[in-house]
Homo-oligomer: A and B are copies of this chain.
């Protein structure tokens, strides 16, 4: 998983705004410089950060908040394989408009011939209806400086595919769900991706630049983890090339509903960590983790600790103790992001990035 941490131990003292476009006034084109060569600089076009007009558009309901960030970070991570952070700057997608993508996300119909979800077959039965496969779309633009100006030189497209399609039989009615198989996600995702690339190629802003497409499986509402990208492909100039399979998996720890651990030694390590801190600080209301895997290999862990105390000395001491316990018990190869919070507020954070610990207590003075 792409951690997107702006880890900067001392190397950003001389950071500055770079100006481009042959004009140094801030009203033209500048970038925010990343402190880290593994992150993209970001284009500030016209002196402002520009959001993508299609951001947040969805086909059906899904209240799982963990999807949106991994949908973004995962696509940026895939993009790095194709568009080097040294040569390209990032901008949120500016080519696709909200109205275009709204039509694409809708069902195909007489009124909406560009719809990429299947036409309704009339049924509302969970197993007989044609589900909404295509849930959300993300465009990321990658630019290079050519003749003193930033030009679109690469694009990444995220295609979010439902695992479960939530729907109502009548407006404001009860919610039903249609489960979509992994095979259907793959088949439908590839169909949609090919059509999207074909349409983008017809857009003269895009032309023949490389396009990365990632297929993302949206996590169901009740999973407490985000979804993951399961396939990606690159179109160098024409249509899409071969599909590569990704083996990313997320799991909540401790495991729930009798689920088997993806890797039992990681799960045991987390239990030991949890037991250790709960032994010394009994007033904790919860210690949980999202474990992120590539295959069976733990890449990172996001831990949330809910405390019932917020005194400074206790939080400070607890933060020290959490760091010690993490160092002792949690798998040494994984990046860590440990949030310590009360119901009201964030209290402290402990991170480990590439083996280096860092911690911070909020409002300590």
Contacts and interface: CB of A to CB of B under 8 A. Distances in A.
Given A282-B48, A313-B76, A318-B49, A363 B69 contact: yes
Interface in A266-288: 279-282
Contact of A32 (B292, B324, B362): B324
A1 interface: yes
Nearest to A66: B363
16 contacts: A8-B357, A9-B9, A12-B357, A13-B355, A42-B316, A66-B363, A68-B311, A72-B311, A73-B312, A73-B364, A73-B365, A74-B365, A90-B313, A337-B363, A339-B362, A351-B360
A313 B140 contact: yes
Given A6-B320, A324-B32, A313 B92 contact: yes
Contact of A4 (B49, B355, B361): B361
Those 7 A-B pairs whose CB atoms lie nearest each other, nearest first: A42-B317, A4-B364, A1-B365, A346-B346, A72-B312, A32-B321, A32-B320
A126 interface: no
Given A8-B357, A9-B358, A10-B356, A49 B280 contact: yes
A144 interface: no
A17 interface: yes
Interface of A: 1-10, 12-13, 15-17, 26, 32-35, 39, 42, 44, 47-49, 51, 55, 66, 68-70, 72-74, 76, 90, 92, 140, 279-282, 292, 300, 302, 309, 311-314, 316-321, 323-324, 327-328, 337, 339, 345-346, 349, 351, 355-365
Stoichiometry, as copies per complex, reads 2
Contacts of A76: 313
Given A8-B323, A9-B9, A337-B364, 10 more contacts: A9-B356, A32-B280, A42-B317, A44-B280, A48-B282, A49-B280, A49-B321, A292-B365, A302-B365, A349-B349
A39 B316 contact: yes
Nearest to A350: B6
A15 B320 CA distance: 10
A181 to B, nearest CB: 26
A3 B364 contact: yes
Q: Which of A42, A320, A339 has the most CB of B within 10 A?
A: A320
Contacts of A92: 311, 313-314
